[in-house]
Amino acid sequence: MKCSIVIPTLNEEENIGETIKDYKKHFPQSEIIVVDGGSIDQTISIAKKAGADVYWFKTKNAAQALLFGFGVAKGDFVIMTDADGTYGAYWARKMFEKVEGQDLVIGERMNNRFLSHRLATWIIGLFVKALFGIRETDIASGLRVMSREFAQSSFQPDEGMWVDMVIKAKRWTDYPILYWPRERGVSKIKGKGHKVFWRYLKAITRNLFYE
């Protein structure tokens, strides 16, 4: 089974090289797609040198970059991950081993120390469970493995996509992973938690009333 690893980037020169190296080690036969949102540092040149297929897609929205990457992916399965090294390729490999027969496998972060993340995930999970009968999971996890057919479905083009996927997947499971805090560079969602939360709610509303 071939897979495509899709990584959105925006000024990640301190991390992207190591991230690509990590995924090449665990997925040596897979294509690595970097979708850059307009970096002004050395992200693009480092990614190319590391062997990734790099696409330029002007956006500061990681979801839009991911959706573009899903659209050009050629693998039978697609892995979405972050550029900052928080999601190790070892765990993606373990999840990949569980994806056959599933639309989606979600990396459930067992050591997420951020209280705000855990609280928001818990609240959104309660809404999703009550309204759609879907069991709780780490609904905000950025490490996911999915079939290409599912990845190329229509999803909300912002952070609500993370919730949208869980609601729309007919067959999904999760897998416990370890999550490493960012060590270098600046988080793109720092200070934007309230906006992300409302986009999660928007995804729930869209699926409840318009889908």
Tens digits of residue pLDDT in 26-51 = 999 999 999 999 999 999 999 999 99
From residue 101, how far is each of 88, 95, 182 by CA, in Å?
23, 13, 32
Q: Tell me the domain boundaries of the chain.
A: 3-209
Q: Report the C-alpha gap between 54 and 149 in whole angstroms.
A: 22
Is 0.85 surpassed by the pTM of this model? Answer: yes
Count of other CB atoms within 10 angstroms of residue 191: 7
Q: Which CATH superfamily is domain 3-209 in?
A: Spore Coat Polysaccharide Biosynthesis Protein SpsA; Chain A (3.90.550.10)
Q: Report the C-alpha gap between 126 and 132 in whole angstroms.
A: 10
pLDDT (tens digit per residue) in 143-170: 999 999 999 999 999 999 999 999 999 9
Q: Report the C-alpha gap between 140 and 131 in whole angstroms.
A: 18
